[in-house]
Structure 1
Amino acid sequence: MSTSLVYTPVDEIPQIHQSLKQAFASGKSKDVHWRKQQILKLWHLVEDNLDGLRKALYEDLGRAPDESDGTELNSILLEIKNAYDNVGKWTQTERASWHYMWFAMSPATRIEPKGVVLIITPFNFPLYLCLAPLAAVIAAGDACLLKPSEGAPACASLLADLFPKYMDQDFFRVVNGAIPETTKLLELQWDHRNSTVAKVVCTAAAQHLTPVTLELGGKNAAVFDPRICMSPDYAIVPEHFQEPFIEACKEAYYEMHPKDPKETGNMARIVNERHAKRVKRLLDNTKGQVVLGGNIDMDTYFCEATIVKDVKLDDILMSEEIFAPILPVIPVKDVDEAIKTINSLGHSLVLHVFSSDSAFKKKVFDNTQSGLAVANETLLHIQTVGIPFGGVGASGYGATTGKAAFDQFVHRRGSIDSPFWLDPMMLFTRYPPYTQRNKTMSNMFMHPKPPA
């Protein structure tokens, strides 16, 4: 039974927005101790409700509980703990490097919150891409309005229910809805937006000169040296290695799924009817050869694990992100053709390389661009604390996790404090009447020497 999501009345959205701005203006969130309390409450929101969150992910995506723990819930807790442990250090004023001319003015960079942040999340990671950046927002001292994806109604409904029980409602609110509600949100002025609805959000943000963080995705490539076997969005393999690669993938699939995953529940389904029809259209129109799976149950939106070989760059499977367990395999002559193929498809969010050859990995990474460069892995980068998660170019900009996300949600405010005794010492260098003596003395102290 699917969850019936209650939408927030559109006419209430400006009031919620205004209340968040008023709360931020109170200055309460500038207290680092208060921020730590709120981060801790976010931890308990997740930790106390793991079963409910697992059930919501299963209802929305058919995602098995163990997979939900690995892909979203544990990753969220890691991000929350990282923010809790480091918020005191991240928020400290940064002193500028010592310089004989400016040390007396105590030049520094103050780390200050931006204000009220809007987070709009996608359906494919409906909890992780909502709560992981929220941890950074809280650490930054901002107020925040969350707009969960209506494409994952169980998760969105659960978040709306849990937030009043755990989070300070003056600072953190959930608005649910679809196009009308999102449109109203985008009409309002925000101090930062974190979103995946790229063109619409950027157009709206430009009206208010609002900075934006985008996580957009793209065609995530996996380049295989003929030694290791894994499977993300599409695979590029040497021509001579295509058949052994496919056989290895089949063998691995049947080893992981000795029983039909449609019956065991160990593989997620397509999120809704619209996307199931879209995926079916892609499969029906591919010119590649389906060598595993290929069927979609339009009643349950379950798509079989599918491998399609001999896929060309102009194939319909390469025209968009698939969001389904379908692996197009592109055979190429060599690594140079692989690099050319990757670059022709634009910037991906993640570029995967599978090889034990350091030179092979270096060549691919050095000659391509992507949000992340990942070797011999397809998932654990989202759980790795200490590296940014975000895109580049068409796959997004900015980061949504860790210190890099914190830096997105704060303003780095330059500061100097000139002592009262300093100005008289500069009378002969900075004020008129300008004489040769002024110029000589000014150049003596102010004009830098050429770099060594």
Structure 2
Amino acid sequence: MASTKLVPFESTAVESIPSIVHQCQTTFRSQKTKPLSYRLVQLRKLYWGIVNNEDALVEACKQDLGKPTFETFLTEIDWCKNDVVFVTKNLAKWMKDEPAPDIPLTNSMLRPRIKKDPLGTVLVIGAYNFPVQLSFGPLIGAIAAGCTAVLKPSEVSPATAMVLKKIVEESLDPSAYAVVNGGVPETTALLEEKWDKIFYTGGVVVGKIIAKKAAETLTPVCLELGGLNPAIISKNADPHLAARRLLWGKLVNAGQVCISQNYIMVDKEILPAFVEQLKITLKEFYPNGTKASPDYGRIVNQRHFQRIKKMLDDSKGKILIGGEVDEAENFIDLTVVQVDDINDSMIVNESFGPLIPILPVNDVEEAIRIANTVHSTPLGLYAFGTKAETNKMLNEITSGGASVNDAYFHGSIPTLAFGGVGESGQGAYRGRASFDTFTHRRSVTTTPGWVEKLIAIRYPPYAGKLARYRLTSELKPNFDREGREIRGIKYWLRFLLGMGSDSLKEALVRWAIAAFVVVGLKKSADAGKLPSYLK
């Protein structure tokens, strides 16, 4: 493996950014990135680039976030390596043209199909909390789709950003893929360029800025944002399991996870048991406390440390567990606070840290009302209770994703599409969805010469052609004027009799079709396979 000596952070010269982007655009227009063979080679080289720099990535994540080695492999390195392997095994299948679905018989002779075209040159803006996964994950999708790309890692995780730059420059085609490092000036310069898509992971405030800037040039965006994600524990839930699973959801990466629960609503009847299980579980996970454990991370920098600490200081709630902070280490202990007001600082702000506010509720209905008041479209929803209760929560609360009886398990499956809705984002990626998000599904038809007589009805003059056109194209409804569905034999009689004053020729066609259908139905009935809607 490569040396773990890390290179100091260095921003890309702003004046060089237009030429970097132009080079990627030129390469895309050359058609170089479109063949399957090219895409596979680039993905495979990226895989080995990650392998060769595993030690450096572990050290960088530790330096940036205090991230435990186990979590770096689990959520960063192995995640991306497995993603590459999964994509390379399935890419040939994904790239194939698809027959267009639900095409009427009269149009099938034109061979309607969906062609998968790469969008072009794309910008990927990563996030600091999972600096490898949230940068390389979208990049893998862009490469798979046949796009060229510029990656902008988060400057808030500077050590990791420099390792990512090294991996890309040493592993990938430099004419097609580049890394731009820096902060606001460099990001601003990148947004001044014309892109074919912008993929951003981060907060809502910056997401709105990017969406607004992209709108000026009608550039599509994929926004992976955060959200005030609720967890709801009904009185019928298992407090032991709920405590273990939700505690784990806040311990990973010291709570710096966009889909972890931001607050937990607990039925008052089960609240004491749940809090007790939290204490038991925390002692089990960290026998000597979180601060002394190598398995507990740190807040990424002092600015975010102060932001989280202020939320805790401003809260009117009661601290039940934890509360220790150490500015010198950017350490904030896992802290459980009971609050009684939905306007408490612990509820209305996204902590993006190891804080667990608990809001007691009377029942599931009250919890649902509060969830829809605090944030109507969170990134995640975590429902604990009976099947009927959790189904009610899923049905009445909109969210980007959801895990029933667990903490963000849906977000930990690398091949399951992941994305937000409303204020928590738009678009999705991971697995097949990563390929799709950078791909244009182009509808294509091919009209052979021999069908000219069949399609001549479309040409002027139109006199006498309308009835013939409607005979072959008009769909008869299976509902009446009151909006009621017409089922079974009534539908076929309606079709048979027609909807208006058909010509004799048209009536004969209807009779012929009806006879064909009736014969088919009789055979099905004789075989005991009569369709359910006719029984």
For the aligned pair, the TM-score class normalised by the smaller chain equals over 0.9
CA distance in 1, matches of 2:325, 2:6: 20
- Please show how residues 354-373 of structure 1 align to structure 2 within 5 Å: 354-355=384-385, 357-373=386-402
Q: Contact (CA 8 Å) 2:228, 2:379: kept in 1 or not? A: yes
**How much has 1:334 moved relative to structure 2?**
0.3
Equivalent residue number for residue 349 of structure 1? 379
Please give the residue correspondences for 1:342-421 in structure 2 after superposition, counting only pairs within 5 Å.
Answer: 342-346=371-375, 347-355=377-385, 357-421=386-450
Cα distance in 2, alignment partners of residues 334 and 32 from structure 1: 54
The aligned amino acid for 2:412 is Q
TM-score (norm 2): 0.81
- 5 Å-filtered alignment, 1:239-250, equals 239-250=268-279
The equivalent position to 2:65 in structure 1, one of 61, 78, 85, is 61
Note if contact 1:114-1:142 (Cα within 8 Å) is conserved in structure 2. yes
Cα deviation, residue 3, structure 1: 6.6
> Which letter maps to 1:283?
L
Query: Is structure 2 residue 351 aligned with structure 1 residue 322?
Result: yes
Contact 2:299–2:331 under 8 Å retained in 1: yes
Matched, 1:23 2:52: no
Name the SS of the counterpart of 2:477 in structure 1: coil
Task: Render the CA deviation track for 1:357-393: whole Å, top value 9, x for unaligned.
Answer: 2112111111111111112322443332442111011
Question: Is 1:141 aligned with 2:146?
Answer: yes
CA distance in 2, matches of 1:386, 1:331: 36
1:311 touches 1:328 (CA, 8 Å); kept in 2?
A: no
Q: Which amino acid aligns with 2:192?
A: E
SS at match of 1:374: strand
CA contact (8 A) 2:403 2:409 kept: no
SS of structure 2 residue aligned to 1:421: helix
Q: C-alpha separation between the residues in 1 aligned to 2:6 and 2:345?
A: 31
1:220 maps to which residue? Answer: 229
The match for 1:433 is 461
**Contact kept in structure 2, 1:218 and 1:320, CA below 8 Å:** no
SS at match of 2:298: coil
Q: Hey, what's the Cα distance between the residues in 1 that align with 2:48 and 2:263?
A: 38
CA distance in 2, matches of 1:36, 1:354: 42
Among the aligned pairs, what percent are the same residue? Answer: 35
Runs of 4+ that moved beyond 4 A: none
- C-alpha RMSD of matched pairs (Å): 1.7
C-alpha distance in 2 between matches for 1:2 and 1:242:
47
Q: Tell me the distance in 1 between the aligned counterparts of 2:67 and 2:424.
A: 25
Aligned-partner Cα distance in 2 for 1:3–1:371 = 37
Please name the residue that 1:199 is paired with: 208
1:180 alignment partner, SS class: helix
Spell out, residue by residue over 1:217-255, the C-alpha distance to the aligned partner (whole angstroms, 9 max, x if none).
101111123313232432110112222211111111111
Q: Check whether the contact 1:75–1:382 (CA below 8 A) recurs between aligned residues.
A: no
Q: Is the 8 A contact 1:218 1:321 kept in 2?
A: yes
Q: 106, 114, 120: which one pairs with 2:111?
A: 106
- Look up the match of 1:152: 157
Decide which structure has the larger Cα Rg and report it: 2
Q: 1:431 to 1:170 in 2, by over 3 A?
A: same
Counterparts in 2 of 1:354 and 1:54: CA distance versus 1, 3 Å: farther
The 1:274–1:2 alpha-carbon spacing in structure 2 relative to 1, beyond 3 Å, is farther
Q: Which residue pairs with 2:95 in the alignment?
A: 91
Gap regions ≥5 residues in structure 2: 247-260, 479-490, 492-535
Residue type of the partner of 1:350? Answer: G
Which of 131, 136, 141 is residue 126 of structure 1 equivalent to? 131
Helix, strand or coil at the partner of 2:115: strand
SS of 1:101's equivalent in the other structure is: helix
1:71 aligned residue (46, 69, 75): 75
Number of positions where the alignment pairs a residue of Structure 1 with one of Structure 2:
449
Quote the offset at 1:311 in angstroms.
4.1
